[in-house]
Structure 1
């Protein structure tokens, strides 16, 4: 007897393996999946300028990197004793103006190289709601706790999102025509926007993404992974949410990861992933007696396992 419906997900035509170089961009759910990729020692980079929630923010970042643009004094502002940039997360904010600009440009240069070298992009959109800075008449990625009266809240239309998604794909493929792009919508509920407004926002994202990936230009280079749909339909119970009842809890994250693994990661690396997981768990082991013979043997075997994997995959470091 089945007590839930399971979403049918087609296996990827371009599965990820340990030769893949992955760049993850987007909402906090992108971070959740990237942490799994990091845990299993894939070659993965995630959100070099911090979490980005909406399509226009991701498009602008890719455009900056691909075009080789530089951040200047005009791109930053002073607020609450720190310098900020509306295009990046507050994690990068700095009390030193020159240091912030230097760091931003160093990151952009690094992203340019990563875009050229990546085999896979995983792009996770969180919302269609955006904030437009009234003074500059530009949509920001992060408000940095600047007073709300300085912004106007807008909902991106399906057409605007379609244009942004298409531009993002074209920008990436202008410098890396062989890479594949996996789009997904974050299952995190943005209830501060309102219950109806959150669903409206997600609907616009889903409609736009599917319109783009089904075009002749994109259907051979893009795929969709249904993170949002898994949360809404397979895990439709509050026991799969964190205490805030908005974010997926660890059980949900683990389950969505398993669905991603079985459909988007090559079966040829499953045994290596098991070896990595065995090592990761062993590294967390705390012995009762560190000097005992049994523990010394345990450590010796663990070192052998690590050496074997690091010799096989030079990029792995434990």
Structure 2
């Protein structure tokens, strides 16, 4: 007897393995998936400018990175005793203006290099709702707790999102034409926008994405994380306490679906070996000085040494 309706997901033609270099961009669900990639020691960089929720913010970041943009004092502002940038997450904000500018420009340089070297870019869109700064008439990535009266809330249309996605792809492929791009829509529910408004927002994202995907560009893929949450995991027991974010069980399940459709089976043996090392590193002995624990530690270090000798980029 079947108690759920599994979402069919075609296997990607551009599978990830330990030779792949991945750049993950987008919402907090991008972070959830990136943590899995990091756990298995795949080559992954996530959200250099912090969490970005909407397509225009991600498009702007990619454009800045590939065009050689340099941040100047005109790109930052002072609020609540810290310097901020409307194009970056508040995690990057700093009490020192020069330090912030230096950090932003260093990140742009490294992101440019990472996009040029990437085999895969994974982009997770969270919402179609955006905030436009009234004074500058620019859509921001983060409001940084600036009073809401300084912004106008807008919903991006399907056409605007489609144009933004096309621009993002154009920027990426202008410096890395063979890069595979995986799009997904975050299953996190943005109920602060309203129940109907959240569905409207997700619908616009999905409609725009499929307009692009239907162009049948072979290096573009869509992973159904939103659909898995809505159709396979249709129960509040798969949500965190806030009833908005997927809980760890849901994240683990969606990751397994991603693994079976987007990661090469040739990588599974190494993933299992890495997982064994990770679990061993979490082990807390009753007696650290015992002979058995010393043997355990020696065996673990031997496993790590062998793994690092094979994959020099791995750090444990």
Report the TM range for the smaller structure's normalisation: over 0.9
Distance 1:75 1:121 in 2: 26
Q: Which residue of 2 aligns with 1:166?
A: 166
Gaps of 5+ in 1: none
What is the CA-CA distance between 1:121 and the residue it aligns to?
Answer: 0.3
Q: Which residue of 1 aligns with 2:309?
A: 311
Q: Does 1:220 align with 2:218?
A: yes
Q: Which residue of 1 aligns with 2:269?
A: 271
Match of 1:309, SS state, is helix
What is the CA-CA distance between 1:221 and the residue it aligns to?
Answer: 1.1
Q: Which residue of 2 aligns with 1:232?
A: 230
What is the CA-CA distance between 1:297 and the residue it aligns to?
Answer: 1.5
What is the CA-CA distance between 1:305 and the residue it aligns to?
Answer: 1.0
What is the CA-CA distance between 1:249 and the residue it aligns to?
Answer: 0.4
Q: Which residue of 2 aligns with 1:56?
A: 56
Give the paired residue count. Answer: 316
Q: Runs in 1 of length 4+ with deviation above 3 angstroms? A: none
Deviation string 1:228-271 (CA, Å, 9 cap, x unpaired) is 00000000100000000000000000000000000000000101
Q: Which residue of 2 aligns with 1:300?
A: 298
Distance 2:99 2:284 in 1: 41
What is the CA-CA distance between 1:299 and the residue it aligns to?
Answer: 1.2
Distance 1:143 1:256 in 2: 30
Deviation string 1:169-224 (CA, Å, 9 cap, x unpaired) is 010000001110000000000000000000000000000011112215xx211000
Match of 2:250 among 249, 252, 259: 252
Match of 2:277, SS state, is helix
Give the RMSD, CA atoms, in angstroms.
Answer: 0.6
Match of 2:6, SS state, is coil
Q: Which residue of 1 aligns with 2:104?
A: 104
What is the CA-CA distance between 1:155 and the residue it aligns to?
Answer: 0.2
Match of 1:152, SS state, is strand
Q: Which residue of 2 aligns with 1:12?
A: 12
Q: TM-score, normalised by structure 1?
A: 0.98
Match of 2:22, SS state, is strand
Q: Which residue of 1 aligns with 2:123?
A: 123
Q: Which residue of 2 aligns with 1:21?
A: 21
Distance 1:271 1:102 in 2: 41
Distance 1:213 1:312 in 2: 37
Distance 1:99 1:278 in 2: 40
What is the CA-CA distance between 1:102 and the residue it aligns to?
Answer: 1.1
Match of 1:299, SS state, is helix
Distance 2:305 2:232 in 1: 40
What is the CA-CA distance between 1:273 and the residue it aligns to?
Answer: 0.3
Match of 2:280 among 279, 282, 301: 282
Match of 2:234, SS state, is coil
What is the CA-CA distance between 1:275 and the residue it aligns to?
Answer: 0.3
What is the CA-CA distance between 1:292 and the residue it aligns to?
Answer: 1.5
Distance 1:130 1:66 in 2: 23
Q: Which residue of 1 aligns with 2:87?
A: 87
Distance 2:80 2:297 in 1: 50
What is the CA-CA distance between 1:303 and the residue it aligns to?
Answer: 1.2
Distance 2:101 2:293 in 1: 50
